[in-house]
Amino acid sequence: MSTELAWFKSSYSGTEGGACIEVAVTSAVRVRDSKDRGGPQLAFSPAAWADFVAFVAAADAPLS
């Protein structure tokens, strides 16, 4: 069994480089800087990550 994490970038990330994060999902949601793959990682519970994503999506939604 491999312990290698399957990292992926958001579909909203461009191809120009810049400030991107990568995410890997295990029993926790792990987040790292795509430019510093060997650097530190953050780990969130799936519920905390879902709350964060919902918050960002709501903040990004146009006001009516």
pLDDT over 70 (residue 31): yes
Please, which residues have CB within 8 angstroms of residue 1's CB and are 6 or more apart in sequence? Answer: none
- pTM: predicted TM-score of the whole model, two decimal places: 0.74
Question: Could you read off the pLDDT of 2-26 as tens digits, one per residue?
Answer: 568 999 987 766 666 667 889 999 9
